[in-house]
A and B are shown apart, each in its own frame.
Chain A
Amino acid sequence: MNLPIIETRYLSKRYLLDHQAQEAPRTFRDVMVQGSQTITNTLLRPGRRRRLPSAQEEFWALKDISFDIQPGQRVGIIGRNGAGKSTLLKILSRITEPTQGSIAIRGRVASLLEVGTGFHPELTGRENIFLNGAILGMGQEEIRRKFDEIVAFAEVDRFLDTPVKRYSSGMYVRLAFAVAAHLEPEVLIVDEVLAVGDMAFQEKCLGKMQDVAGEGRTVLFVSHNMGVIETLCDRCILLDRGMVKADGAPKDMTELYISQSRQMVAEGFEHQTHKPFTFLNAALCNTQGDNISWVDEGQSACLHLSFRLNQPLKGAEIGIQAHPQNSQDVLFATALSDCLPAAATELAAGDYTAQLTLPGTLLRPGIYYFSLFAHIPHHEWLDHREHALRLTVKSCGLTDPRKYVLEKCGHVRLEGDWDLRQPDAQVDRVQAQPLVAQAQR
């Protein structure tokens, strides 16, 4: 029984994109004739491929994908938006059909492409567990057997008979994931569903997924979270524009992916001469000046910027914003004028380079994005490059593989001074103890 559990051969998927017709039909009669021809053709020859009208454009979401997956492998699938990850999962879970190629699947497949598919807001939690379970392919008997386990996992026991429309979004997501997590398929296909819910719950979900993988099931997992891919998977496929770009060990793949996406950002800086201001380039370097995409925890990094002024500018603010991954929040923002008041008053036309050192003591392990901005406050936006750079801060000396989700410790490290002392002798020790415990955490 050494047959692969999933085999795909030259898998391709084409979508037709509708465009506005270049030339409008001349008369109403033309419209009618064209319309009736289309309708008769559609009615008479359902399955048959029709001639491509000129207003449609082909788009190959996947092109000649071939791979084998062995039973028990945990495969991560990564790639930029639009690389075809979701399309691949949809084909493997039989929601849509490939345009070309074939797949052989030797086992029961369950897919979780969205949390809470099929939940009905008017139904109670209890009713939704049964409904959702049935939709995902569980039998009534199976659901009944696992019911208590699902409820315990979701922590919604008090609200079982409340319609889910009154649930908080966190409760809703917990319940939905809980049902799906208790499926027992041979192949589990999961699309980026862990991006929801609070940290504690994400951690729990991840633990559950590790359990599933530990039981020898095959897992296919799409995520943008490289840390999760590296811990959860033992193989990783990198997709790029509908093709398999690379396939191998997760660590190599994620590094390749990160360097690739940074390169693409750099390619995006085109020279725009007509604008008063444009960013020319941005890069992250180590202290030796080599380009990097990651640093170890505690290492400092340099952020290089170059920009061009086609005319002198007064009062411009040029700088960066840092964002934690999966969040639009701004972690911090800093502009040239913060340190160089002269930069804010007037800058002559010409090319500039700027450098910002990010101290190694600043960021905790995680993935961070940097956006570039240049504006004249309250007046004009000059240039804005969202998420232009990406930096992974790797944690070293990691013992617990799931530690990276323990982001409860925050994104930045505080270089503050703690002061610990025992208050004067009149206070007894029983009161003093909890204070100490808190300080140590």
Chain B
Amino acid sequence: MGHPSPELIITAGRAQRQYWQDVWRYRELFYFLAWRDILVRYKQTAIGIIWALLRPFLTMVVFTVVFGKIAQLPSDGVPYPILVFTGMLPWQFFANALSECSNSLITNSNLISKVYFPRLIVPTSAVIVSLVDFFISGFILLGLMVAYSFVPSWRIITLPFFIAIAFAAAMGAGLLLATLNVKYRDFRYVVPFILQFGLYISPVGFSSTVVPEQWRWLYSLNPMVGVIDGFRWAILGGESSLYLPGFLLSVGLVVFLLWFGIRYFRAYERTFADVI
């Protein structure tokens, strides 16, 4: 970082042109903030990182019992625990990312009011932390696949694409909520509600094939429907199919949400230090 810095002009009311250059220059901070949150989370806990495995595992057991055994919902020909888990994995990632991201600016308010760096780093790091959790709980899925001798097809290589969509969905919504949260702390109470609600209207505990065909497009307005269906398509292989119009609608919505989230965040970012 020893290179001479270019001239920087700050003019009232105008966004800085060097913003994205700055984001690149501060790239190590993405890593350090995420690293801090991960380190801190399991300090002074007895079983540490096992918590990241235990919580999704127990939720999966409950969902399998409730939806698979008691409600007897169809499983598209795969073991029900695997069906549930392929839905829960992206959902839990989205839910954690969204709640961490929307609170990230508030919990780091001391940084924001005392040091300069591109503010975008804070919410992004929060999502990265959730991504790490996501990969850890991915091991449970591997375990389940081994236990049920389930071999995924070639489609599994498309999985990163669906992870990217989930990431974008969480970022877009998270940036929007984080920005609103700075000024209106009401959104601290809104987010848990959205997530609680979202768990039931997203196809987490069941397959989206239970939704009648003529309503599938409406159902796809929930961006997580596209993500979860995509996960199932990529992991479960053969029997599960992707409802393409709905999926494209979901992806379009996610792209719009991300664009709008970044724009909204950038518009308000300059006032964070004064308002927070």
Contact = CB atoms under 8 A, between A and B. Distances in A.
Given A135-B29, A137-B117, A142-B1, A123 B10 contact: no
A138 B1 contact: yes
Contacts of B13: 97, 99
B28 A134 contact: yes
A134 B32 contact: yes
B146 interface: no
B270 A97 contact: yes
A15 interface: yes
A15 B1 CA distance: 35
B274 A102 contact: no
Given A100-B12, A130-B32, A163-B43, A106 B7 contact: yes
Interface stretch (A109-117, A201-209, A273-281): A109-117
A118 B110 contact: yes
B39 interface: yes
A113 B114 contact: yes
Given A96-B274, A113-B114, A135-B115, A122 B44 contact: yes
A104 B8 contact: yes
Contact of B5 (A97, A99, A108, A131): A108
Given A104-B7, A120-B40, A122-B43, A94 B28 contact: no
B258 to A, nearest CB: 16
A102 B10 contact: yes
Contacts of B271: 96-97
Nearest to B36: A131
B12 A46 contact: no
A186 interface: yes
A93 interface: yes
Interface string A347-358: 000000000000
Nearest to A141: B1
B243 interface: no
B39 to A, nearest CB: 6
A401 interface: no
Given A98-B10, A123-B43, 13 more contacts: A46-B264, A46-B267, A91-B10, A95-B113, A95-B114, A102-B11, A106-B5, A117-B115, A118-B110, A118-B115, A122-B44, A135-B29, A142-B1
Interface of B: 1-2, 4-5, 7-13, 26, 28-29, 32, 35-36, 39-40, 43-44, 110-117, 183, 264, 267-268, 270-271, 273-274
23 contacts: A46-B264, A93-B115, A95-B116, A97-B13, A99-B12, A105-B7, A105-B10, A108-B1, A109-B116, A111-B116, A113-B115, A120-B36, A122-B44, A127-B36, A131-B35, A131-B36, A135-B29, A135-B32, A135-B117, A136-B115, A139-B28, A140-B28, A186-B5
3 shortest A-B CB distances, which residue pairs?
A46-B267, A134-B32, A94-B116
